[in-house]
């Protein structure tokens, strides 16, 4: 007989030492660990993929700080629920007592009025808000609320952390430790997890239970191999994905297919998401990102197309929005590809982090006052429009970086044309 409580819930840690991953936040010098140790915790939002411990971390914090803990799900809660919870928190607060913690799962699903209802309570310290989101808070959380919260990014769990979770489950779980389980190969389990602890535990539990039910294993060990995992998970995919955990796998396939210029497969993955009830705004945002990251300067119209799609689906809604998404998906998949803009900004950011805040050359500085002009600000700046072809060779870098290159034109018709123009202007720099 299997327990009713899922393995992922049974193995949920109750302290920071048992918490897997996120060393940058909860490790020895992690910012959240330091806040807990000080006993003074501010409102924040945890942003990261599913199954990396956002809910668990919020619960651990409340336990360690011995604070009342209220939780709401943005999927099922409305403004009324928020206000009732805030009133409850206000009534249980006493002078000098630290504020209760209000944890809101999937806070990105709250609309503006729901988020507005939190502002006063957060600002007055009636509650300490901990939000959890899988979406970029910059897009989904209103600015007034975002300005009152720090944002901490959680990463997918690494292989060594997932392997530790497997070992812990086999030796500490009250149900699994009674079974003779031998993991001969773990690659398939780790692959299906995708860095998600919940998916890892769901896969392990499914494989163990399926192995026990398909034959008489009462006197035999449950042997887990890659082949066994693949076979059993494929056979029980509906069970394995009962909480919609293929969400990130399918969006990954969708993006990689468009990047790979296969419009047929891209439309298939789009259909999978639409049929599964995926948020059309989530799909449209991903298309916007892809248009800039993977198509970029090879076809600048792709970004315009994706942005128009994003605006249109807000106006139209389903089911007609499927046509707009399909049109955009096919256009992006069929476009030439370039990641030169993406590579250029990442290279430039790496240089900034390495070289720090280098001085702006005097000739490039603004000179709005007489003193600044006397100090040489803007002196000898060459105004490009005063020269033939609106160009004059000039150093626009800090002196230490004047030989650097960040943008390397892609191998596509549009950027080849751009490269030829740049070679004509800058000579050897773009050879």
Cα–Cα distance between 338 and 293 in angstroms, integer? 8
Q: Find which of 57-66, 173-182, 230-239, 266-275 is predicted with most confidence, using mean pLDDT.
A: 266-275
Token digits of residue 317? 């809604």
What is the pLDDT at residue 236? Answer: 57
Whether 390 has a pLDDT exceeding 70, the answer reads yes
How crowded is residue 171: how many other Cβ atoms within 10 Å of its Cβ?
10
Higher pLDDT, 31 or 96: 31
pLDDT (tens digit per residue) in 27-70: 788 788 888 888 788 888 888 877 778 888 888 888 888 788 88
| Helix H or strand E segment including 34 | helix 31-38
Token digits of residue 184? 């001969």
Token digits of residue 248? 């990130």
96 pLDDT band (50/70/90 cuts)?
low
Given a contact cutoff of 8 angstroms between Cβ atoms, the answer to whether 86 and 126 are in contact is yes
Domain layout of the chain by residue ranges:
7-153, 159-240, 247-334, 356-430
Given a contact cutoff of 8 angstroms between Cβ atoms, the answer to whether 209 and 201 are in contact is no
- CATH class of the structural domain 7-153: alpha beta
Cα–Cα distance between 59 and 65 in angstroms, integer? 10
Q: Mean pLDDT over residues 249-268, rounded?
A: 90
Q: Which of 326, 304, 153, 362 is nearest to 254 (CA)?
A: 326
- In angstroms, the first-to-last Cα distance of the chain is 71
What is the pLDDT at residue 239? Answer: 44
Given a contact cutoff of 8 angstroms between Cβ atoms, the answer to whether 227 and 190 are in contact is no
Whether 76 has a pLDDT exceeding 50, the answer reads yes
What is the pLDDT at residue 42? Answer: 82
Geometric angle at alpha carbon 154, from 111 and 66, rounded to 5° = 80
Whether 1 has a pLDDT exceeding 50, the answer reads no
Whether 165 has a pLDDT exceeding 80, the answer reads yes
Average pLDDT, the chain: 82
Domain covering 159-240 assigned CATH 1.10.3680.10 in the classification: no
What is the pLDDT at residue 6? Answer: 80
CATH number for the domain running over 247-334 = 1.20.272.10
**Cβ contacts of 278-282, under 8 Å, gap ≥ 24:** 278/247, 278/251, 280/313, 280/317, 280/318, 280/321, 280/325, 281/310, 281/313, 281/314, 282/135, 282/251
* DSSP 8-class letter at 295: I
For 112-142, b where at least 16 C-beta lie within 10 A, e where not — what string? Answer: eebbebbeebbeeebbbbbbbbbbebeebbb
How crowded is residue 236: how many other Cβ atoms within 10 Å of its Cβ?
16
């Amino acid at each position: 007989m299997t327990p009713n409580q899922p393995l992922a819930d049974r193995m949920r840690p109750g302290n920071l030492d048992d918490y897997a991953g996120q060393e940058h936040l909860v490790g020895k010098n992690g910012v959240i660990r330091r806040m807990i140790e000080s006993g003074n915790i501010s409102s924040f939002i945890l942003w990261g993929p599913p199954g990396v411990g956002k809910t668990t971390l919020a619960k651990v914090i409340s336990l360690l700080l011995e604070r009342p803990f209220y939780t709401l799900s943005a999927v099922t809660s409305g403004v009324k629920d928020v206000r009732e919870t805030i009133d409850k928190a206000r009534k249980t607060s006493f002078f000098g007592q630290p504020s209760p913690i209000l944890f809101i799962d999937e806070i990105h699903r709250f609309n503006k009025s729901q988020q507005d209802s939190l502002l006063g309570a957060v600002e007055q310290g009636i509650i300490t808000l901990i939000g959890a989101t899988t979406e970029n808070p910059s897009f989904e959380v209103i600015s007034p609320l975002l300005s009152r919260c720090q944002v901490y990014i959680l990463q997918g769990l690494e292989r060594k952390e997932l392997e530790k979770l497997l070992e812990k489950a086999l030796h500490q779980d009250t149900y699994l430790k009674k079974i003779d389980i031998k993991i001969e190969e773990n690659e398939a389990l780790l692959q299906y997890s995708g860095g998600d602890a919940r998916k890892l535990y769901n896969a392990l539990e499914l494989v163990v239970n399926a192995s026990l039910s398909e034959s008489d294993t009462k006197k035999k060990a449950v042997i887990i191999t890659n082949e066994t995992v693949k076979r059993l998970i494929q056979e029980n995919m509906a069970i394995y994905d009962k909480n919609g955990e293929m969400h990130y796998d399918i969006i990954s396939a969708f993006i990689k297919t468009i990047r790979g210029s296969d419009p047929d497969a891209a439309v298939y993955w789009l259909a999978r998401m639409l049929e599964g009830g995926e948020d059309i705004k989530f799909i449209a945002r991903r298309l916007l990102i892809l248009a800039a990251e993977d198509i970029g300067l090879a076809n600048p119209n792709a970004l315009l197309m994706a942005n128009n799609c994003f605006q249109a689906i807000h106006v139209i809604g389903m089911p007609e929005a499927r046509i707009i998404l399909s049109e955009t998906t096919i256009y992006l998949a069929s476009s030439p590809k370039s990641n030169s803009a993406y590579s250029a900004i990442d290279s430039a950011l790496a240089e900034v982090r390495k070289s720090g805040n280098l001085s702006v050359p005097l000739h490039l500085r603004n000179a709005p006052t007489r003193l600044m002009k006397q100090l040489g600000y803007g002196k000898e700046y060459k105004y490009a429009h005063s020269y033939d072809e609106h160009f004059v060779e000039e150093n626009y870098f800090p002196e230490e970086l004047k030989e650097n290159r960040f943008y390397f034109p892609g191998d596509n018709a549009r950027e080849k044309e751009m490269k030829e123009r740049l070679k004509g202007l800058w000579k050897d720099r773009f050879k």
